[in-house]
Amino acid sequence: MNRVALSLSLAAKPRWWEFALWAFLLCLPLLLPTHALLISEITVIALFAMSLDLILGYSGIVSLGHAAFFGMGAYSAALFAKHINPDPLLGLAVATAVSALLGAFCSLGILRGSDLTRLMVTLGVALILQELANKLDFITGGADGLQGVVMGPVLGQFEFDLMGQTAAWYTLSITLAVFVLLRQVVVSAFGFSLQAIRDNALRAQAIGIPVHARLIAVYTLAAALAGMAGGLQAQTTGFASLDVFGFDRSADVLLMLVIGGTGWLWGGIIGAVVFKILHSIISAWTPQYWTFWLGLFLVLLILVGRARLIRPWTWGRRA
């Protein structure tokens, strides 16, 4: 094996602390049974953030409308469970597939143009889907939301309980599986070609990387995973409403990713945890004005420098 291949395969090996951290996460529903619902919610959002990282951190596409796929997955899963089959895993597969299709279709829109164009196109798609969901209220329940979604037991055994235990285990296992998958993807040749495209698309094309094909592929994958997260959300809460498509959701997940750090998979997870905990603490103290503190935090974060948040020892130094 030559040196390049060797160093790449070393980068691919999971570190010991990753195993330890995942083991800890999987035990959380046992350690904090009263917070199982919160754990489940954070896990879903972490999955959503990881999917955004694929296109933002690894491929450099700034998207303000990733919630389009989250919402698509949520409604697909909810509608599937309500009208066709209440099995969660089947519904999840359907949600993922539908969002992947949507992602493939939308990826055609982000190929050309500047950052601003991409921002607008992604935002526009999410807004259109939200309007559609509102108008087709005989299917989606419109502004009142989709009611009456009753999920079957996971794997035929584990019912969704009021405490949220089943939900927590379910979401954690799915997210772990996705994490393992993504880890393989980002250290593969495909993953590295994405980073090359992010850093300089023109140069990447010059050395023979099929830029458009790669972008379409990664966007579809990210959309599929976002849809999976949406499906999980709908299944664990038994409900889907218009704000799954909302700008707030897209903006929040972007923030989480930035807090945790883009370009590495743990960013999404850490960001989701930190964001939600911050939210819970600050909202308990000042429920009406928590967005002020969030805004302040963001401004300071950017002024200090994003990459330095998770490296507190660099805070004192100038950039």
Work out whether 306 is an interface residue with another protein (CB under 8 A). Answer: yes
Number of Cβ within a 10 Å radius of residue 95: 33
Binding track over 158-197 against another protein, x by CB under 8 A: ----xxx---------------------------------
3-state DSSP assignment of residue 158: strand
8 Å CB contact between 203 and 196: yes
Tokens 């959701």 locate to: 249
Residues 98-117 that bind another protein (CB under 8 A): 108-109, 112-117
Closest CA to 244 of 10, 73, 27: 73
Binding track over 252-271 against another protein, x by CB under 8 A: --xx--x---x---------
Work out whether 86 is an interface residue with another protein (CB under 8 A). Answer: no
Q: How far is the CB of 187 from another protein (least distance, A)?
A: 23
Distance in angstroms (rounded) separating the CA atoms of residues 256 and 236: 21
Distance in angstroms (rounded) separating the CA atoms of residues 242 and 223: 18
Work out whether 281 is an interface residue with another protein (CB under 8 A). Answer: no
Tell which one of 119, 176, 211, 278 touches another protein (CB under 8 A): 119
Question: How far is CA 55 from its chain centroid?
Answer: 10
8 Å CB contact between 26 and 269: no
- Positions touching another protein (CB under 8 A) are 34, 37-38, 41, 56, 62, 64, 108-109, 112-117, 119-121, 123-125, 127-128, 131-132, 134-135, 137, 142-145, 147, 162-164, 233, 237-239, 241, 243, 247, 251, 254-255, 258, 262, 283, 287-292, 294-299, 301-303, 306
